[in-house]
Structure 1
Amino acid sequence: MLSKLPLLFLFPFTALLSQTTSQAPQPTQSGVTLRARTQLVVVDVVVTDKGQNPVRNLKASDFTLLESGRPQQIKSFEEHTGQSAKSPVATLPVNPPGIFSNYSSALTNDAVNVLLVDTLNTPVTDQIYLHDQFRKYLKTAKPGAPMAIFGLTTKLLFLQSFTSDPELLKAAIDKNISHSPLIGRVTGGNTLQSADEMSEIVATSGLGADPAQAAMMQQVVADLKQFDAQQTSFQSQLRAKYTLDAINQLARYLSGIPGRKNLIWFSGSFPLDVLPDGSINDPFTVVASSEAEYRETTNLLTRAQVAVYPIDARGATTSPNMDVSQSTAIYVDDPKRFNADEVKYHLTAAAENMTMFRMADDSGGHAFLNTNDLVDAVNKATAAGSHYYTLTYSPNDSNWNGNFRKIQVKLQQSGLNLAYRHGYFADDPDSP
């Protein structure tokens, strides 16, 4: 996170002192003002041992900080040890009748936890499991720890402001959030879409006996596959846009709250980049990228001091191609189709997981994938995000050219795990 610290110097600012007040000359003021400015980079570092327990009582001298391989001087250092009984809670202001405020109370000394329930990228059946897990979490949650809840459909929804009341949190998670029409139950499955259905019709009706008819039907099937792939790509692009826009809004809102914010994001994830599809005639027509939008999102998260903890709400996932709910008839006459569907599933799953890993890595959080114990994932995310060290430094390189600058944090003690954001884009802070 970059912040401006203006230093103002006025001269001349001293006057000769006299023995009597009446003889003291009036100080003269010059119209010349010198301004100096420095950019501070804020890095939150979570340090844990092999058992994922927080490591306490480290000193600034234990850390080595580098930017683009060059050592940086640590300007300030602070250890945050999580919520304590003495942590003050901001109280809601008392407004006169008829006056309303969007002010949210939150702890002023500790990290703030925010839950994002993503129904845009989470299948409906997995949302039911997510709600059950969240109710289980509330029964074991640390008392007195406030949390805010947001929802994500095709827009960001504010479900509950910061509160530690389990009944209010439970009511917020039980609110009827419409699910997204842009995602199905599984990724990369062999559900019979229009092209597959047409292939079965051709195979069972005998239309392929005539070579001319067979060629025509093959072209129709190829065109349908092309259309299906382009439609799927378009839906993925919409999901990426809606999701990044919502996280941008959330980052701007959280920037008004001081200190670190932990965004616990329940989602089925989404791919930032849509790769070529080798099963269609023109595989590059479906290619799309959201890298420019993603860069804006990471910059906003950095400035708002938000660490993202994505949790895959689908739990442990396996290939759906041999699931009993899927049709395997298409593999009887086309054995190569099974291998193609398997490759497509693994590529899509890897792209989705990569998004979660990148979002966590770029913000200093941690991604929880392929786990059915969502309660444990939330507990680990809140515990890790509540015990951290804040380091700041002023970069030696003052050339704000928009390039990515890599941040490295090292410890003298070995065998410890460090989680922090690994860089930032050096955009000009004076640019619009």
Structure 2
Amino acid sequence: MRRPSARLVLFFAVFKIATAQSSIPGPSLSGLSTAPPQTETTPVLRTTTNLVLIDVVVRDKKTGKSIDGLDRSNFQLLEDGRPQTLTVFEEHHASDAIQASPVPHLPPHVYGDFPRYAIRSAANVLLIDALNTGISDQSYAREQLVRYLRTIPPGTYVAVFLIGSDLRMVTGFTTDLNALLAALGKVRSAGGSTAPGGSADEPASAEPDLDTGSSQEMAQAMRDFSQDTRSLSLQLRQDITVAALKKLARFLATVPGRKNLIWMSAGFPVPLGDPGGGNFAGDFFLRVREVNEMMARARVAIYPVDARGLMTLPNTNPANGPTGGESLSLRGSTTGAVPTANPIPSSWASQHMTMERMADETGGRAFYNTNAIGQSAVSAIADGSTYYTVGYDPTNHKFNGAFRKIKVSLDDKQYELSYRRGYDAVDPSGSGKEKTQLLSPMSAAMLHGGLPLSEIIFEARVLPAGDPQLAGQQLSTEPAGKPDKPLKAPPTRYVIDYSIDPHRLSLTTLTDGRRRVELELAQSVLNRDGARVNQSDAGMEVDLTPEQLSHDLKAGIHMRQEIDVPAENVVLRLGVRDVATERIGTIEIPLRVSDGSSSKN
């Protein structure tokens, strides 16, 4: 949340820097001078208010392999049939994430946001759908994931979420494979399907045999009751699924760049019977479109993976095929018709068609009718990590909320493309509904589980107020922060001394030769469940003389903040934002407040 800026005039800036420097052990605080220089190896997107960004995956039609090495001239883009001029063009590779950087050694209680891996490719989300997937299918999918995730490239950012009775973050974005596998272990300990009323597919044969000894009217009434019960269960699961996907879209909208959503599920809960019949069915497709639009707007490509593996028809002779039954696949279908002779294949077909639709409208790819579930997830990560970002300023400046169709094409017709197919042209200066759903950049960056950001490089020394290194220094006696509710007593005051690298800040030259930068510093205290218990946020204008700037280019711009922390083990998340460029850096620090200390880095 943006707070009113507190103007730091020259004498206060000098006093602040001098105070901070006197309280911090000279050169030992900062690893900025030993850190690798921050170079612009990829262009920084300079977004305008109307800029439309499209992530495009290019594949060979025959092999399915992602294609790289194309340039701007290869792409043509139409909006509602009208040619558009590309003003942004970037190529991203799966191998970009492998580029590791050395992290400088820092003294105890000093932390830095030096990037271990450059975030130049896509971030990935594994969404485990326990709501719509049977227990045995969940177990098999989990085993497959554990096996194949060991093969993803180092530096690949992955987060894990779970859909049960609600959406839950299992672990935030991490490049630590062991942490990722541990997160999947947590999912295992969470138990099986939480689907109200059963798993994703309930065969008609599971209904009780009501014909024996019952009148036809009674039997029909019981069948109607059973059908109504299943419909209510399906409606409830659909409501929960839609709400969870929308919640996830809002969170991922705060994460910069492309995101690949690998959705491990037995399928979206689709209406029973004719997919086009009844209000429930009609509402279903409207809700799917709404979810797709939110995901596409957040630059999220959906990769549905059917956790049921190879699909076979029930009550068939295993001798009919090598897979133990008659397999069902919609790939290659030319009509798109849904078979209705058997209710189970009908629901399969509807679910697979929905998977295809969600993937197509967001720029992803659907995987189903295969037992290689883990390999499908890894393939989705690889597929979505080699892509192109193209952007344009629409020639149509009438932003009336109407849906605009996008078509991207290449000169070479041997390639197939995946990208979002359109967007809602909402007035960028207005207050469209999607604007109210998004958080401010800094608030979003301070959320639990967010990507570690290193667009601004900074260090922070974090000490409890009673530490001997702070002896004799004057600290505030007022409460520090704005807690959501009273903190567990007695809270511990923590002092955060920042050292911010000016090299990537936007410095404005004033008429008297001084340089000015507007910064936002934020501190958020999170409990073990990821809930915020206290936070503080301050905006500052810092004016620097040429002499001060010369000094700070080596030692960093020094700032101090204070925050009260409850008597429990928590995580302190720090953020620094350059207001002019929206660049942000973040650090997460575990605090063991019970003994008044921070975990050593």
> Among 282, 285, 289, which residue is 1:295 paired with?
289
1:132 aligns with 2:143: yes
> Among 58, 75, 81, which residue is 2:87 paired with?
75
Partners of 1:251 and 1:304 within 8 A in 2: yes
TM-superposed CA distance for 1:303, in Å, is 2.4
TM-superposed CA distance for 1:106, in Å, is 7.9
TM-superposed CA distance for 1:286, in Å, is 6.6
TM-superposed CA distance for 1:76, in Å, is 1.1
2:134 corresponding residue in structure 1: 123
1:247 corresponding residue in structure 2: 245
2:217 corresponding residue in structure 1: 219
Gaps of 5+ in 2: 1-47, 319-338, 434-601
Partners of 2:271 and 2:280 within 8 A in 1: no
TM-superposed CA distance for 1:200, in Å, is 2.6
Report the AA paired with residue 222 of structure 1: Q
Partners of 1:108 and 1:258 within 8 A in 2: no
TM-superposed CA distance for 1:288, in Å, is 5.8
SS of corresponding position for 1:232:
helix
Q: Distance in 1 between matches of 2:275 and 2:248?
A: 33
Partners of 1:118 and 1:266 within 8 A in 2: yes
TM-superposed CA distance for 1:81, in Å, is 1.6
2:235 corresponding residue in structure 1: 237
2:153 corresponding residue in structure 1: 142
Partners of 2:402 and 2:424 within 8 A in 1: yes
* Deviation by residue 1:321-375 (Cα, 9 ceiling, x = unmatched): 4589xxxxxxxxxxxxxxx984322221111112211111111000001011112
TM-superposed CA distance for 1:110, in Å, is 1.8
* Correspondence 1:406-421 to 2 at 5 A: 406-421=405-420
SS of corresponding position for 1:377:
helix
Q: Closer, same or farther in 2 for the Cα pair 1:112/1:190, shift >3 Å?
A: same
> Among 301, 310, 322, which residue is 1:307 paired with?
301
Partners of 1:46 and 1:389 within 8 A in 2: yes
Q: Distance in 1 between matches of 2:171 and 2:382?
A: 21
Q: Distance in 2 between matches of 1:239 and 1:264?
A: 19
* Deviation by residue 1:163-217 (Cα, 9 ceiling, x = unmatched): 2333222221122234223364673623342xx4221333xxxxxxxxxxxxxx2
1:112 corresponding residue in structure 2: 123
Q: Closer, same or farther in 2 for the Cα pair 1:81/1:186, shift >3 Å?
A: closer
Q: Closer, same or farther in 2 for the Cα pair 1:139/1:201, shift >3 Å?
A: farther
SS of corresponding position for 2:212:
helix
* Correspondence 1:91-110 to 2 at 5 A: 107-110=118-121
> Among 61, 70, 73, which residue is 2:73 paired with?
61
SS of corresponding position for 2:397:
coil
1:423 aligns with 2:398: no
Partners of 1:106 and 1:146 within 8 A in 2: no
Q: Distance in 2 between matches of 1:268 and 1:127?
A: 9
SS of corresponding position for 1:108:
coil
Task: Identify which range, 259-268 or 133-142, moves more after superposition.
Answer: 133-142
Q: Distance in 2 between matches of 1:107 and 1:238?
A: 42
Partners of 2:340 and 2:346 within 8 A in 1: no
Report the AA paired with residue 76 of structure 2: T
Q: Distance in 1 between matches of 2:182 and 2:317?
A: 35
Report the AA paired with residue 74 of structure 2: D
Partners of 1:125 and 1:185 within 8 A in 2: no
2:256 corresponding residue in structure 1: 258
Partners of 2:195 and 2:237 within 8 A in 1: no
2:534 corresponding residue in structure 1: none
Q: Closer, same or farther in 2 for the Cα pair 1:154/1:383, shift >3 Å?
A: same
Q: Closer, same or farther in 2 for the Cα pair 1:118/1:59, shift >3 Å?
A: same
* Correspondence 1:4-403 to 2 at 5 A: 38-49=49-60, 50-84=62-96, 85-86=98-99, 107-175=118-186, 176-178=189-191, 179-182=193-196, 184=198, 187=201, 189-193=203-207, 196-202=208-214, 217-276=215-274, 287=281, 289-322=283-316, 342-403=341-402
Q: Distance in 1 between matches of 2:238 and 2:107?
A: 41
Q: Closer, same or farther in 2 for the Cα pair 1:88/1:254, shift >3 Å?
A: farther
Gaps of 5+ in 1: 1-36, 98-103, 203-216, 325-339
Q: Identity over the aligned pairs, expressed in percent?
A: 37
Q: Closer, same or farther in 2 for the Cα pair 1:397/1:183, shift >3 Å?
A: farther
Q: Distance in 2 between matches of 1:89 and 1:248?
A: 38
Q: Closer, same or farther in 2 for the Cα pair 1:120/1:88, shift >3 Å?
A: farther
Partners of 2:132 and 2:199 within 8 A in 1: no
SS of corresponding position for 2:391:
strand
Partners of 1:105 and 1:162 within 8 A in 2: no
Q: Closer, same or farther in 2 for the Cα pair 1:293/1:185, shift >3 Å?
A: closer
TM-superposed CA distance for 1:385, in Å, is 0.8
SS of corresponding position for 1:289:
helix
Q: Closer, same or farther in 2 for the Cα pair 1:307/1:370, shift >3 Å?
A: same
Q: Give the RMSD, CA atoms, in angstroms.
A: 3.2
TM-superposed CA distance for 1:42, in Å, is 1.1
TM-superposed CA distance for 1:79, in Å, is 0.8
Q: Distance in 2 between matches of 1:226 and 1:400?
A: 48
Higher RCO (C-alpha 8 Å, min separation 6): 1
SS of corresponding position for 1:386:
coil
Partners of 1:46 and 1:54 within 8 A in 2: yes
Q: Distance in 1 between matches of 2:293 and 2:107?
A: 35
Report the AA paired with residue 411 of structure 2: Q
Q: Distance in 2 between matches of 1:262 and 1:286?
A: 29
Partners of 1:248 and 1:297 within 8 A in 2: yes
Report the AA paired with residue 370 of structure 2: T
TM-superposed CA distance for 1:146, in Å, is 2.8
TM-superposed CA distance for 1:394, in Å, is 2.1
Report the AA paired with residue 122 of structure 2: A
TM-superposed CA distance for 1:141, in Å, is 2.8
Structure with higher helix content? 1
